[in-house]
Structure formats: structure tokens, C-alpha cells
Amino acid sequence: MPHSDSRSGSDRGRPPFGNNRGGGRPAFGGNNSGRGGPPRGGRPMGRPGGGSFGRPDLRSAPKTPKPPKADVVFKDDWICVLNKPAGLPIRGESHETLRESAWELGFVRKLKMRPAHEIDTLASGGVLLVKTRGEVDSPREMTRPETNYLVVVEGEYDEDVVKSGSSINGPVEGSKSSGANPVTHFRVLETGAGLSLLQVRARPDLQGQIRQHLAQSGHPILGDTDFGSTRDDLKRLAMHAFEIRYEDPETEKIARVRVPAPHSFWSVMGAEPAMGMSAEAEEIESNPDQEGWDKVAGWYDNLLSVRGSDHHEDLILPGVTRLVNLQPNERLLDVACGQGLVARHLIAQQPGATAVGIDASPELIERASGQSPESISYVVGDARSLGDSELGDQEYDAAVCVLALMNIDHLDDVFAGVSSRLKVGGRFVAVILHPAFRNPGATAWGWITDERTRQPVQFRRVDQYMSERTQEIVMNPGQVSSGATAIKTHTHHRPMSSYVTSMGKNGLLVDTIEEWSSKRESEPGPRAKAENTAREEIPMFMAIRAIRSA
């Protein structure tokens, strides 16, 4: 099954909080979350000397009832997502703020977490907090969060808009843009009772952008009297931040946390919420009777098929398409296909071809089948026994195995099976995390200062490379920290020579090896140049193409 760095349990090191673990990370900043947020680097909060997320001085606070407190939706040692109630500001001089709620949560106070973005005070929903080293780190640059909202607006949309969604663009009064024209994208989820439920994403998500844009389009948010709403059915602003996407500061994984939305957002229209929209925050299921990737099939499918991965979109899928060079009427075998992302992409590029995907997870195969055209079929089977699988006696012109070999033991069995299924001259393309630089638990990022230039330099530390080893990976660390049962998989590290040698002795002759570097870029800052240089010079993936010999 496809294996991205978000499945692998990457070994990316955390920023060094007073230790010698060689922390540091590229500062992937962005101005596309919350309501514009604070300037990079944040600003001091709380009493002097009390830390960047210090407790406010309550001695002069008015004796008024406090609003509802924020609830913890997700947490680990470095990240926390809070569900902010409507009407609770994130910042301010009053004790009635999100930071006061966060202070009362002991682990937030201990870890000095700070908000990475903001949402409207009148809105409810998820707010991401990040562990930082005071003002040295910017939470937003460390995580580059993006927020998806659910909003109920007045009016029902035309059928064409319901089918395809739409965008609104234009300046936002009272907010400063970074230069890009603010755009608000939306998709209609439900309509009824003269109302519509929208899923909304704003770029760059300036303060008031969504409210103003929707009002300007003639569909103000329900309860938004400041922008022309004439109804107040819910007695609040019908706006909820239901999903936060962010880059994990340690692993660079693209992660997602969903936050429960009020059931009233649907019931006000006489509708029922779809699965996962108004339920508890999306979690990885833990069923001890299931094995392997069945346990994380829903999470993994959402990771790539629903949300997408920039590494897949920018590097892996284009690179695999070029190396495989699938032709009309050719037949492709996708080994360890997962939810079928790679096969669907390759067939979409060459509609005249057909494909078969095979994976050991019935749950992932079911999801793949439900998303794919008739030109792609799927079978449940073991990548280590392709010759004995349900594939029949069909031969293939090309085969791929993308970001999965690290999760499979017995390479010889995999390559022998691939060779047996390929026609003579058929191509096999495998993509793996670069074994020299992405060895979980044995490689990490670090920082030094160049003695000559006095400029920062980011480096990749490699502690082990030649030794083959198996590393246990916990897939749900956030849930484990809250008492859930750990869901574990394994990643198998091997040096490059192991892959090439095993292919060769099984009739697969290597003709191309490519090393792919991340295309991400850091926002301007004192370390940006060093981070971009390190990212370009130290590859993240390795692609190997081999030809089936006679």
C-alpha cells in the first residue's frame, strides 16, 4: 500500500528544548489560517517573565461569570487542539479568553503552548496550540495550519452551485492582505428551510474574510447581524472551525484533527449530519481483532484521498508517471496499493490502460474499489506471494510499489513475485523513503553555526545506515497519550544495496535510480536560506526503476 512520510513515523527531530537531540526544523510558515494571526514570532502574553503563554493577571479581573471553557480534542507532548466555544476570544486583557482556559489545563501550562492561528471570537471550533521556546519560535511557522469551516448561511443555492461549489474573491475591509487577492472557496453540503450548510476554506483567511465575502455574495451567515443576517435561529453565529490541517513540527507529516460541530447546524435545516462531521473528533479506530492497516484504513484514506499530500502531488505521482510511462492498452499492477491512489492517478493520465491493485488490507481494498473507475480492479492479497494470489495468470506490462516496501519484510519474496507477473521487458518502479537520510530513530535534523560566516547551517545527522533493522511505529500517539490502545506497525530499514541486489537476483535489472527532494519552501526568516538549502540537498525519497530480464 502507498506509504507516505505521514505513514512512516518519520524520524524528524523536534526543536531542541534544552537538550542535545539535534532539533530544529524547516520553518514552514504561512498566512492561510485563522484570522490572520499575530506577527511571526508572536507577542508576549501574560505577566512579564511569565512565559510566552503566561497566565494573565487576574487580580483586577471583573467578578463576572466566565464563559464555557474550551475542551481538549487532541493532544500529545507537542500539539494540542482545543474546541473553543462561541463567544470566547482567543486573546485579550480579560480573564475570559481561550488562553485562560488553556492555562487551567496543566499540560498546556507546563509545555508553554501558544496558539498557532485564530478563529473569529463569535465562532466555535478548533484552535491549534503548539509547544514553543518562548518568542524564539513562531507557532504558525512551525505548523502552517489551515482551517476548514462549517457555516450555515441564509438562502438556498442554484443547482449548479450545489454540484460544483464556488469561490468569492475581493478585498476584506479592515484587514491587511499579504498582497494576494483574498479568496473564499465553499461547497454546499445541505440545503433546507431557506438555509444552506457550507464547507468553507479561505485564503489567506483574514480577519472577517469569510463573514464579509458570504454577506457580499448575498448569503450572510445565520446570526451574523453585523453583516446583514435577518435570522438568528441558533442564537449565535453559525460558524464552526471543524477541521485543522497542520504540519507536525517533529515529523513534517501533514496531520488533520476534526472537531465536533454542533448538531444544530443540521437540525435547523431538518437534516442529519454526515458521518464524521458532527461526531467526536476523528480518531483512529482500535479494534484488537483487526490486523495491520485495517486499523488505520479510514485515517489513511482521508490522509491521501480526501485531504491529499503535497509530497504525493508535487513529487511522487508526477515522478512515478514519468518513470512508468504507461501506454494505451497496457496493463498495470499496483503492489500494496492501499486505497488505490497511485493506480487511479496513472490510469487517469492514460485512460486507455487498465490496472489491478493488490493489498493485504480488506478495508483499504474496499475503499479503493469504491473510488475507482471500472478500468481498475482490486484483490485482497499478500505482496510477498504474488505468484499464489488471486491475480490469475495475467501478465503485466508495468508494476509499481509506492512507499510500501519499508513496511514489508522479505524483499526477495516481493521482487520474485513482481518478476513472475511482469512480461519480459516490463517495467517495475518502486519508491521508498531515502534509506540514507530517512531512517526512523537513527536520523534527525540539527543546527550548527558556520564558524566562518556565522550563519546557521541545517544538517542531517545519520547514526546508522548499513545495519538492517526493524522499527516499531505507533500510529496513534495522540490517542495513546489519552489512554487508548496503541496501534502499531513496523518499518524495515535496509541500505540501498539491499534493494538493488534483491531486484537483480530476481530478474529485475535496475536501469534508473532517482533521488527526490522536497519542494516545500520556508517563509522568509533568519533560517530560511539554510532550511531551503538543506531541503534541496538532502533528498527525501528514492525511486528505483528496473526492467524484467529474459
Q: Along the 550 residues of the chain, how does pLDDT read in single tens digits?
A: 443 333 333 333 333 333 332 333 333 333 333 333 333 333 333 333 333 344 444 444 444 455 567 788 888 777 888 888 888 888 765 556 776 666 666 555 556 778 888 899 899 999 998 887 766 778 888 888 889 999 999 999 988 888 777 888 888 887 765 556 888 999 898 899 999 999 998 888 888 999 999 999 999 999 999 999 999 999 999 999 998 988 877 766 677 888 878 889 998 998 887 655 654 333 333 333 334 444 554 444 444 443 346 778 889 999 999 999 999 999 999 999 988 889 999 999 998 999 999 998 887 888 788 888 999 999 988 899 887 767 878 899 999 999 999 988 889 999 999 999 999 999 999 999 999 999 888 888 888 999 899 999 999 999 999 999 988 776 655 555 555 566 667 789 999 999 999 999 999 999 999 999 998 888 888 888 999 999 999 999 999 999 999 7
Does residue 433 sit within a domain? yes
Residue 473 · residue 9 · CB < 8 Å = yes
For the chain, the domain total comes to 1
Does residue 519 sit within a domain? yes
Nearest C-alpha neighbor of 129 from the set 74, 87, 85:
74
- Per-residue DSSP letters for 491-522? EEE--HHHHHHHHHHTTEEEEEEEEE-----P
Does residue 462 sit within a domain? yes
| Rounded Cα distance, 123 and 515, in Å | 45
What residues does 243 pair with on adjacent strands?
Answer: 148, 258
C-alpha cell at 6: 505521514
Does residue 52 sit within a domain? no
Does residue 356 sit within a domain? yes
| Rounded Cα distance, 337 and 477, in Å | 25
What residues does 355 pair with on adjacent strands?
Answer: 332, 376
3-state secondary structure 212-262: HHHHHCCCCECCCHHHCCCCCCCCCCCEEEEEEEEECCCCCCEEEEECCCC
Look at the block and give the residue holding cell 450555515. Answer: 152
Does residue 143 sit within a domain? no
Expressed as residue numbers, the domain containing 506 is 292-548
Report the CATH number at residue 499.
3.40.50.150
Does residue 370 sit within a domain? yes
pLDDT digits (tens, 9 = 90+) for 111-152: 677 888 889 989 999 999 888 776 677 888 888 888 999 999
| Rounded Cα distance, 144 and 253, in Å | 11
Question: What DSSP state is assigned to residue 41?
Answer: T
